[in-house]
Chains A and B, each alone.
Chain A
């Protein structure tokens, strides 16, 4: 069974630009989560998508947004990039709500560097 995949592996952008990160969940998983892992800050919850809808978001400004496609893959967009957006962005997937026993499975991450 293929795991969660993310692309690109690395992304370098300049301040003010937009970044788009992509994630494909494990087959059969309908929930996708995005996390930001900045140096020294642990994992910060960004967004949760399920069945194409945004279900919850963390404490991040609106310039962090995304969507989930009919095939359950997801895209994270970061507009007006700032230097402090430099981080590892992790995507995870799981079965959807109701399956509260289900753990989240993580992808390898996209390293975003803003210069």
Chain B
């Protein structure tokens, strides 16, 4: 079975500090991993994905994520947080045998304080 876990409901960080939003996955086979962001009262926006290749993936708005196979993790990172980064972040894994089925984590609320 495929699944992702986001162990933190909420992450608080001061503006200008680095941020990390954690995600771990469980999947048989090679994972296809995604990060999405949801701003208040809006749909999800795609941030970045890992399919294969370099373990460090760069995405939109200065975000990046590091794929770690031994720790089955795909943490989202940004070197310097902005207040405007405050939003709900979802990690997702694509089904291995059913490519069109996405499994989303429960979401992590990121609060960036000025």
Say if the beta carbon of A72 comes within 8 Å of chain B: no
Q: For residue A98, which residues in chain B have a CB less than 8 angstroms away from its CB?
A: 99
Interface residue? A104 (CB, 8 A) = yes
Verify B100–A45 contact, CB threshold 8 A: no
Query: Cβ of B34: which chain A residues have Cβ within 8 Å of it?
Result: 103
Q: What is the interface size of chain A, counting residues whose CB is below 8 A from a CB of the partner? A: 28
Query: When the two chains form their complex, are residues A33 and B36 in contact, meaning their CB atoms are under 8 A apart?
Result: no
Classify chain B's interface size: 20 to 34
Contact B43 A108 (CB under 8 A): yes
Total A-B Cβ pairs within 8 A: 58
Give the chain B neighbours of A107 by CB distance below 8 A: 43
Interface hits, A40-62 → B, CB 8 Å: 41-43, 45, 48, 50, 55-56
Contacting pair B102 A42 (CB below 8 A): no
CB–CB A104/B43 < 8 A: no
Cβ A103 vs Cβ B46 within 8 A? yes
Which 10 pairs, one residue from A and one from B, show the smallest C-beta to C-beta distance?
A106-B43, A100-B99, A42-B106, A43-B104, A106-B44, A108-B43, A103-B46, A107-B43, A42-B107, A109-B43
Measuring CB to CB, which residues of chain B are less than 8 angstroms from any residue of chain A? 32, 34, 36, 41-46, 49, 51, 90, 94, 98-107
